[in-house]
A = this chain, B = another copy of it.
Amino acid sequence: MSEMKKEINAKEISPAVIKRLPRYYRYLGELVENEVVRISSKDLSERMKVTASQIRQDLNNFGGFGQQGYGYNVQYLYNEIGKILGLDRTNNIIIIGAGNLGQALANYNFEKRGFKTIGLFDANPRLVGINVRGIEIHDIGELEEFVKNNEVQLAALTLPKQHAHQMALELMSYGVKAFWNFAPIDLNLPDDVIVENVHLADSLMTLSYRIHSREEE
């Protein structure tokens, strides 16, 4: 991006702020749904359980959306944060592993979040050919051709852990450079590859710890 460009440049925003954006976006989306036109940092603060000063600091990154005595224009702020997050574009996603979890993901409508599921893949012949919300489950053998004929920005890995790393390498060789990994392993991939992990078992162990330590209080 040119340094002269006056638009908000996501690169200038600190990673800590970026990390909080999905949550702002989610809250603002609910306000939009409820037809709230404007909101003060104080009201938003009470809903989100974040200090008003934190909200002002965070949202100041996006220029002068907030006005003294008026507050924030909800729809405008929602749209601007959406643009920063890249949600005004559509990324295509494929899902590798069409078991319950893969089908659960396919059943979500993630298009509001900038992602469109264009295919599921599985090695199990009993699953191949089934449609999930209009999305076909393909045989894993068709993967290479499919990825080469379609733009695939993201692959969700919902397959057993022993196959996950090998599958990521295979997909990388076809040009896929971002993974949403649900297998309970850390994928060991080059730095320019994006990996976002959803480690359900780690989340459960954290719960176990918290339940266990509360009992000891």
Residues of chain A whose beta carbon lies under 8 Å from any beta carbon of chain B: 1, 10-11, 18-19, 21-23, 25-26, 30, 48-49, 84-87, 89, 91, 99-101, 103-105, 107-108, 110, 113-115, 153-154, 177-178, 180, 184-186, 192, 194, 196, 198-214, 216
Contact = CB atoms under 8 A, between A and B. Distances in A.
A210 to B, nearest CB: 5
A22 B202 contact: yes
Given A11-B213, A210-B194, A216-B10, A22 B100 contact: no
A100 B99 CA distance: 9
5 contacts: A85-B205, A87-B208, A103-B104, A114-B208, A177-B214
A207 B194 contact: yes
Contact of A209 (B86, B177, B186): B86
Contacts of A209: 10, 18, 21, 84-86
A186 to B, nearest CB: 8
A106 to B, nearest CB: 8
Given A18-B209, A180-B204, A213-B10, A104 B113 contact: no
A214 B192 CA distance: 9
Contact of A91 (B177, B184, B208): B208
Contacts of A105: 200
B202 A200 contact: no
A31 to B, nearest CB: 13
Contacts of A198: 198, 200, 203
A105 B201 CA distance: 10
B212 A85 contact: yes
Contact of A201 (B22, B101, B104): B22
